[in-house]
Structures are given as structure tokens and as C-alpha cells.
Structure 1
């Protein structure tokens, strides 16, 4: 009888212990602390709770135009693809990005190099997707929620306010994707830059290429640019630069950008199809319209075999093009792979 009582009491104690609020939470917090420390830096993360410091804006780059972002303590993603076609190109994984528990994933457009991991990360982390109606329709599946902030076929330059992230006002502006246009002669063409030799030295691994094969035809679903107002700061992120001087909606986009600016920080794409004939003229027009104090490039790294090149190969052309702008921002030029998951490169204090 005594032995039976001991066994029952031991079982009850075990049940009670595992049901205590702090026990399961401690394990979850440990995983959260570890993931967020790796992505945002140990010095930016509370080592007991996993909270990211709320007096900063932090953009931690994990490839192409994908960033893990912390703003006033809120954690979310802009785009969601970890470009590891080359093994360990980026020092993180889909699982680790999901483990930082982003509340939202903001989609700039739906091509694979921007959103191939969006649905998987959203389902694993519980994050809400945010994007166009086209993005929400494409990513609709069990366990994935999506908020549409731009209608299908929305007029370029039109905006919608999104208040789904506490403490941050998000303005979503309908953008246009890059497109090859006839040369205008204003900027010298940026002819195809040789890719890196990693195709030979570090061949892509078949399992990742096989996984991506199912995403190569993912639709664009429209393009969206996001502006953030938080703690007295204004920030813009975009993952595509449309041919604004040659597209019918370009003037409306430039007018919209001028309304959003001037901004404290602009994290913007500098790679696009139009660079083959018009160089970096389009990125310069976005920068000129927004008049940022600080500009950070994206979508300029070695994100896929053959069709991409390391950021340093585009660096000189970028700074040459920047000389054509009167009000030039401070530039924090990101280089791959050394600036992946290096959050202090893109940090802004809140007032």
C-alpha cells in the first residue's frame, strides 16, 4: 500500500509540476531567447524573456530583401526566403527564423526569391501574412492567416493604412515590379555582371533546389512598398524598383514617395531588370523622392546560382549613380555574406 501511495503521489507531483505556468514557458522562452539572440544580437535581447529592446529599430538581413525586423519591441519579417541554395550561404534556417516568433510577415511581392518560405514560416510561427489581395489568395492554406492591404490591380501609388502591429503605423503603397525598358540615356546600362565562382567551388545542393523547383512559378501578385511610422521615426522598405520614369503609373509612385518622405531610413532594392538598359536610374529616383537620411540597399547579393552576383560587384556602379542625386544619404552598403545576420549594421535609435 505504501509503495502504491508513493507512486500515486509522485505521479500527481509530476502532473502538477508540468502544469505550472512557469515550467512550459521557461522552455519556450529558452528557445525564443536563443533564436532571437542569434538573429538580433545577444545585447539586444532580454536573456530572461526573449523580448527585443524597445528603444531601437533593427533590420537583420538574411538574404535578398528579407529582413528580421524589431521596431519598438515588435518583431516581424519583411519578405521571407532564406537563400541557401549554396549550402550555408546564410547563417540561419527557416526553422530559426520561425523560432524568433515574428508577429507578421510583410510581403513585397510573391516571387520565390522573396516569399518561397513565407507560408512555411507563418505556419510554424503563427505569424500573419500581410500583402496584396493576390498574395493572400495565393498563400491561402490551413493555418495561415493573411491581411490584404492592397487590392488586385490597385492603382500604383495608392496607399492603405495598416494598424495590425501594435505601436506602429504601417502605410502600404502599391508599387510596380522592375521591368526591362528601352534605354533613355540618363544612366549608363549596367550590363550583366559575372556571377561568383561558387557554382564550381560550392555547388548548390539538390534537396534545396528540388524544394525551390515548386516555387519558381510563384506569381508576383502585385508589388507593395511599406512605410513605417514609429517613435518619431519614418522608415521605408521596398523589395522592387519599378521603371518609374517609363511606366504609366510611375509619376503617381514618385508623388506617393515624396508624400512619405523625407524619411530617416530607406531600405530599398537596387537590383532590377531595367538596369540592363537604364543602369541604376530607377533606384536613384526612389531615393531622390524619399530623401532618406540613411539608405541601405537590398536585393543585390549572391542569392541564386548564375543569375545573381555578390554585392561588391555592384558597389562601384551604385556609388557612381548616387553622385547624380543632389541630396545624398548616408549609405550603409550591405555586403554578402559578411553582413548577413549582422543587426548592428542597420540599427536606428528611437526618440
Structure 2
């Protein structure tokens, strides 16, 4: 296991060697070209080499909180779970093996529950690529690799899994930098809180969430034959240990993206596995505020606390990060498939309920209209594999003077 930390922790070595060797050998296989065009769009992928546009940042939703990402041509997977993974494309318009054909250079896991970490060891074991995850989840990845090797599914019995944080660490205590995408992008990561159900917050009104599915969905998308590669870690210690990632592009307005596949209860400092303390929650809030300014937040729209506190936790993460664009993730699991627009209604209403500057603890509970992000809502399954393409050079992403070098990635 290898680990990098800012503030005196050894840097990970050899982070970008694999990607250089992967993308430096045109012409590419037909499977690679086909997969990359499927995920990132025909217009964004070279039909001969399979290289993805090296001037753009592209995200492609692959169900739930999972995304295929190309950061100026550097392809990674953010989670590897596939909802309704089947032997042939159906409601989900691809199969797990297409993620192998995509040939990402690395996998980053937000936490170890099945709806995030399934298929990770299968993909990494077949491609020989690194996984970045908590130390606890890395243990599960090795168990998965052993099982997949014994079943003849992968050619190796171990995978290269890098501990992002150490076993049992307190959320926010270890801030790390991951050089996997250098010199194109710097990655900052730290442990935060898995979402949790806590008591109703007395400080602000809460707009309820109706987690209601579209009853037409089973008729439109009849189930097929399931085919996926489950992780053993869902019920283990790594299941709830959650990692927050920020990607800062080098140059070009320092275009910055955050991805967090769960959204914790910061005011209480509680996660699904334990309540740490309100002080831990405040530390995490302060860390998020200290990061380089965020342009796009790919953040979980569902908290396990939605039954008591609606979309409160989502808005508090917005307040901490102040992104220009918010893209809701973690649909199809916890949030019922097709329930997305119910969550959108509640999210927009909750924003309107957090406009009182005189509220107790305005750091958490006051988000003025001028600081709201543009919500670019996603709806399953219609928005699967529809590339979200960003030009880092666009002046919308320019940063205020004096803030561009704040944080771990400077």
C-alpha cells in the first residue's frame, strides 16, 4: 500500500506512468475506440488513436454516483458500481466489461459500499491499474481480487490499491495529495462523513423529500440477466469510510471539480457508522472552505437523513464549497430509481428556506441567492452516458485574485 499526504507525508511515486504508456501507442484497438466514443461522445474521441480531447474536461454518468472522467485526455473512473448491470445493455446502456474496454488509468473510490465499489477489483485486476481508497476499503479490494482470481475472472490475485487515509483515522485529520494525474491535474483527498440519519434540525425549516419512483419504469425497462462483480467490502469496516476528492487542473483558470459520493451531517458531525462530534463536522466544513475555489461540484443529492432533514446536508456542502455548478449524483440507490425530480423539487425549496442571515449558526444555514450554484439536474436513466463537456479556458472559471493558490494543490 502506498500513501501520500500533504503536511509531511511521503508522495506517491510513479502516478502517471501508466497513462503515458496507455495513450502513447496508436492506433488503438477497435474496442477502446468504441468504448471511449460510447462514454465520452464520438466528437470528443480520436477515431484512430482512441485519445480523448486533451483540451476539455469531460464527465459521463455511469449510474448512481459513478462517473467516467476524462481530464484533458486522462481517463479515470470515479466509483465502479453499475446499477442494473446485465449481460447486455438495457436500462443501463452498457455492460461492466465496457468499463474494461474504456481502459482508464486509475480508479478512485468514494467508499466501500457495494453501490460504489462493486466491479473495482475486476476492472483493476484485468487492466493492472491502481485503485485509490481508504485503507479499510483497500483490504476489501485484496479479498475481492483473491476471489476473482480463484474464479478465473482476473489474471492476478492482488490489485494495486493505494491507501488514501489510514485505518481508523478521524475525518479531516489527514489531507492527502494524489499525483496520479500530474502534470495535468492535482488531486486533494481527505476522509469526510458518510451520510446518516440524525434528529430533525430545530434551527431551520425543512422541506420534505418524497422518495417516489415512476411506476412505469419496470414496464419500460424489463429486467435482464444480471452480471456484475460484487465487492466483499460492503458490510466490512471500509463500507462507510468515505473519501472526498477535489481535482484542480494545472493552468487554464485552475478549473476545479469536487466529487463526493456521499453527503454527511456536518452540524452534528455524525456518519452512518458513528457520531464523531460537532467539532469534527466543523473541521470538515472549514477544510472544504479552504480548498481552491470549486467550479463544479459532483455531489451526492441523497443523504440517509433525508427523512428528517430533507436536502439540508446537500445545501450545507454547497455552502462550504460555493461551486458555480452543482450536479446531483447518487441516484438509483437510496434514492429510488426515477425519483430524481422529487429530490430536485425539495432541493430548490430547501435553498429558499436557507435565506435568513439571522439564523443560528449562519455558517451552515445561510446561503444567499447570489451564491447559489447553477443546478444542472440529472435524471436516470435518460442522462446516462451523455457527456458533460467543460472548457477549462472559459472565462467563467476564472478565479478571484489571491485565491487561486489557496489549499493543498498549489
TM-score category of the 2 structures, normalised to the smaller one: 0.7 to 0.9
Note closer, same or farther for the CA distance 1:138–1:221 as it changes in structure 2 (3 Å cut): farther
Shift of 1:347: 2.0
User: Displacement, 1:257?
Assistant: 0.5
Q: Deviations over 1:198-240 (max 9, x none)?
A: 356655446459x659776354151000011113212110001
Shift of 1:27: 7.7
Residues 253 and 237 of structure 1: CA distance in aligned 2, closer, same or farther (over 3 Å): same
Structure-1 separation of matches of 2:50 and 2:98: 14
For 1:75, what is the secondary structure of its paired residue? strand
Tell me, in whole angstroms, the C-alpha distance in 2 between the residues paired with 1:318 and 1:242: 16
Distance (Å, rounded) in 2 between the aligned partners of 1:216 and 1:134 = 11
Aligned in 2, Cα 1:157/1:187: closer, same or farther, shift over 3 Å? farther
User: TM-score, normalised to structure 1's length?
Assistant: 0.85
Q: Indicate the residue corresponding to 1:311 in structure 2.
A: 340
1-structure distance, mates of 2:286, 2:208: 26
Distance 1:48 1:85 in 2: 29
Q: 1:77 to 1:85 in 2, by over 3 A?
A: closer
CA distance in 2, matches of 1:27, 1:104: 21
- Unpaired runs of at least 5, structure 1: 1-24
Summarize the Cα distance change of 1:266–1:31 in structure 2 as closer, same or farther, 3 Å threshold.
same
Distance 1:183 1:280, change over 3 A: same
Q: Which of these residues, 183, 186, 191, is aligned with residue 169 of structure 1?
A: 186
Partner of 2:62: 62
Q: Does 1:195 align with 2:210?
A: no
Where does residue 347 of structure 1 map in the other structure?
Answer: 389
SS across alignment from 2:115: helix
Work out whether 1:302 is the aligned partner of 2:302.
Answer: no
Per-residue Cα deviation, 1:303-331 (whole angstroms, up to 9, x for no partner): 48x95543122111111123332111112
Quick check: 1:157–1:254 contact (8 Å CA) kept in 2? no
Quick one: structure 1 residues 187 and 220, their matched pair in 2 at CA, closer, same or farther if it must change by over 3 Å?
A: farther
Is the counterpart of residue 246 in structure 1 residue 263 in structure 2? no
The aligned residue for residue 350 of structure 2 is: 321
Q: Which runs of 5 or more residues in structure 2 are unaligned? A: 1-24, 146-156, 270-276, 355-366, 394-410
Q: Which moved more, 1:192-201 or 1:75-84?
A: 192-201
**Could you say which residue in structure 1 is the equivalent of 2:258?**
236
Distance 1:149 1:204, change over 3 A: same
- How far off is 1:164 after superposition? 2.0
Instruction: Give the stretch that moved more between structures: 113-122 or 180-189.
Output: 180-189
The answer to whether the aligner puts 1:224 opposite 2:215 as a matched pair is no
Assess, with a 3 A threshold, how the Cα gap between structure 1 residues 37 and 308 changes in structure 2: closer, same or farther: closer
Shift of the 264–320 alpha-carbon distance from structure 1 to 2, 3 Å rule, reads: same
- Structure ranking higher in strand proportion: 1
Q: Alpha-carbon deviations, 1:282-306, whole Å to 9, x = none?
A: 111111110111111101x3348x9
1:293 paired residue number: 324
Most deviating of 219-228 and 56-65: 219-228
Aligned to 1:10: none
Cα distance 1:187–1:152, how it changes in 2: closer, same or farther (>3 A)? farther
Aligned partner (choices 150, 162, 165) of residue 147 of structure 1:
162
Change (3 A) 1:241 1:31: same
Deviation at 1:26, TM superposition (A): 6.9
For residues 216 and 192 of structure 1, do their structure 2 counterparts lie closer, same or farther at Cα, with a shift above 3 Å needed?
farther
Which has the greater radius of gyration?
1
Match of 1:266 in 2: 297
Q: For 2:231 and 2:239, how far apart are their aligned partners in 1?
A: 16
- Distance (whole Å) between structure 2 residues aligned to residue 334 and residue 235 of structure 1: 17
Contact 2:177/2:187 (CA < 8 Å) preserved in 1?
yes
Number of matched pairs: 322
Q: CA deviation at 1:166?
A: 2.8
